[in-house]
Structure 1
Amino acid sequence: MTATTAQKTEAQTSNTPPLHVENLSRVYPSGEGQVQALASFTHTFPPGMTAVVGPSGSGKSTLLNLLAGFDSPSTGQVSVGDVNLTTLSEPARADFRLAHYGFVFQNHNLVSILSAQENVEFPLTLAGLPPKERRARALELLELVGLKNRAGHLPNQLSGGEAQRVAIARALARDPGILLADEPTGNLDSKTGELVLSLLTGAAAQGRRVILITHDSEVAALAHHRLSVRDGVVTAG
């Protein structure tokens, strides 16, 4: 199945809550002083794909960690709908992430001892979905990314591109409103990278908010919106 066909056969439309940051900043202690990893900024992320671009060490990953609630801001807040993520306890934040976020990392981060199908099922297992339902959903998503025939394969039996497509299927397992992708094509050849980007673009077309971290201007050009980060300062465009 091609990526275009997969996008057209994605039946579900995400219920996407607004994602908003207000006066968000992050400062880290360094020796006797401080390092400003992210300067204060306010932004509402619209539906569709937003590319966050900038050189290594600019603050892109800091922003991603704050948006996900993996890190706590020095000032400001991250709001998803009417929920202030920064005020939740860590267990509550983890539950909220499971329900509303999907993640795609540069190195796919699949569980090595689980098959492709089991990896996609994993967030559904955490959510308490019955085995029959989670198997059906996992196979549906593997078909979406063109890998239903690889459902029983372990990550080390997959190519890098296949593993990344499984990671996208896993990220979509609970039909999240927000997808955070950190350099998802960084380790892929250009043809496979295009396929992965096509899948992410298809996810954004369903109304999700896809935030894509990249240093590649050609990748960023595919996004609907763009933020630039340099020396911790975020600007639009």
Structure 2
Amino acid sequence: MTAPTLTPAARPTAPAALRAEHLSRIYPSGDGQVQALAPFTHTFPPGLTAVVGPSGSGKSTLLNLLAGFDTPTTGHVLIGDTDLTALDEAARADVRLAHYGFVFQNHNLVSILTAQENVEFPLTLAGMPPRERQARARELLAQVGLEQRGGHLPSQLSGGEAQRVAIARALARDPGILLADEPTGNLDTRTGERILTLLQQSAGAGRTVVLITHDPDIAALADQRLHVRDGVVTPD
């Protein structure tokens, strides 16, 4: 079965560019320090960028810095003209809500909410009226092939279905930036390919999609690749 086609939402302006400038992260460790990410400068273009490397190489550290979940030791993360690293946590949360969507390995759906309600959740945070957000959630669930599963709880969905709901939720506010952390890691090969196709389609709609993976076969399908080893990031 092929993945459904994601319909690009109309954009009044181009999505804000994502850029890392001299970005690094050092953690204290015992009496010393561990360099989790060496100084790194890169502009992430629209399209799919795969960040590939073995476990513990620094991939998740990079993603957390790009999202503003962690504070860099040096450097900056820029979203257009906004310096994410210069903002307090409340302001960073506002930037994430406006510009980012997230897909995690374990989907991170709210267990007590239905699939429909999970997709609506970021729209509720944004203050969208109930009728509009319900219509938007139904549209997105249809785009990922789950229009008949909107009333089901996450526990009633398969792993692949839950991950598709997570993608629909990530796209709810039509973000310019989509960060995906090993989104196929817990899925079988066929289901993983379906999820990857949805991410490729999202990138094809003009978004900047950053995909963390340890799988070189998945990375080979991206528009560009970054390799991380021992905290050092190098382009393909």
Q: Compute the TM-score of the two structures, normalised by the length of structure 2.
A: 0.97
1:38-187 equivalences in 2 (<5 Å): 38-187=37-186
Greater fraction of residues in helix: 1
* Residue 11 of structure 1, CA deviation: 3.8
Contact kept, 8 Å, 1:27 with 1:37, in 2: the verdict is yes
1:12 — aligned with what? 10
Q: Which runs of 5+ in 2 are unaligned?
A: none
Paired with 2:8 and 2:149, the residues of 1 have a C-alpha distance of 19
Contact kept, 8 Å, 1:105 with 1:183, in 2: the verdict is yes
RMSD of aligned Cα (Å): 1.2
Q: Which runs of 5+ in 1 are unaligned?
A: none
* Residue 6 of structure 1, CA deviation: 1.8
Paired with 1:218 and 1:45, the residues of 2 have a C-alpha distance of 21
Contact kept, 8 Å, 2:23 with 2:74, in 1: the verdict is yes
1:207-226 equivalences in 2 (<5 Å): 207-226=206-225
Q: Compute the TM-score of the two structures, normalised by the length of structure 1.
A: 0.97
Contact kept, 8 Å, 1:116 with 1:153, in 2: the verdict is yes
* Residue 2 of structure 1, CA deviation: 4.8
Contact kept, 8 Å, 2:9 with 2:174, in 1: the verdict is no
Q: How many residues align?
A: 235
Contact kept, 8 Å, 2:21 with 2:41, in 1: the verdict is yes
Contact kept, 8 Å, 1:104 with 1:171, in 2: the verdict is yes
Shift in alpha-carbon separation, 1:12–1:191, aligned structure 2, 3 A? farther
* Residue 41 of structure 1, CA deviation: 1.1
Contact kept, 8 Å, 1:124 with 1:134, in 2: the verdict is yes
Residue 181 (structure 2) pairs with residue 193 (structure 1): no
Contact kept, 8 Å, 1:72 with 1:86, in 2: the verdict is yes
The 4+ residue runs of structure 1 with deviation greater than 3 A are 9-15
* Residue 50 of structure 1, CA deviation: 0.3
* Residue 198 of structure 1, CA deviation: 0.5
